[in-house]
Amino acid sequence: MLDDFMTRAALAGVGVAFAAAPLGSFVVWRRMAYFGDATAHAAILGVALALALHVSVFAGAVAMALAMALTVSALSGRGYAMDTLLGVLAHSALAFGLVAVSFLSGVRIDLMAYLFGDILAVSRGDLAVIWSGAALVIALIGWRWSALLTATLNEELAYACGIDPRRERLVLTLSLAITVAVAIKVVGVLLIAAMLIIPAAAARPLSRTPESMAVIAAGIGAASAVIGLCAAYLFDTPAGPSVVCVAAVSFACTSLLRAFRSGA
CA nearest 44: which of 120, 133, 115?
115
245 found inside a domain: no
CA dist list (Å): 142 to 29, 78, 137, 161, 246: 17, 32, 8, 19, 27
Question: Per the structure, how many domains does the chain have?
Answer: 1
Please list the alpha-helical segments (H only) found in 154-191. Answer: 155-160, 165-187
Q: Residue 143: its pLDDT value, please? A: 92
Q: Report if residue 201 sits inside a domain.
A: no
User: Is 66 part of any domain?
Assistant: yes
For 54-77, the pLDDT digits (tens) are 888 888 888 888 888 778 777 766
Considering the domain boundaries, does residue 48 fall inside one? yes
Domain membership flag for residue 147: yes
What are the residues whose beta carbons fall under 8 Å from the beta carbon of 38, sequence distance 6 or more?
68, 69, 72, 86, 89, 90, 93
CA distance 103 to 48: 9
The domain that holds 142 is classified in CATH as 1.10.3470.10
Q: Contact at 8 Å (CB) between 79 and 98?
A: no
The helix, strand and coil proportions of the chain, stated in percent and rounded to the nearest 5, come to 85, 0, 15
226 domain residue, yes or no:
no
For residue 162, what are the domain limits?
5-190
* Residues in Cβ contact with 136 at an 8 Å cutoff, skipping those fewer than 6 apart: 178
pLDDT digits (tens, 9 = 90+) for 214-224: 999 999 999 99
Mean pLDDT of 25-41: 83
Whether 31 is in a domain gets the answer yes
Instruction: Answer whether residue 229 shows pLDDT above 90.
Output: yes
Q: Is residue 219 part of a domain?
A: no
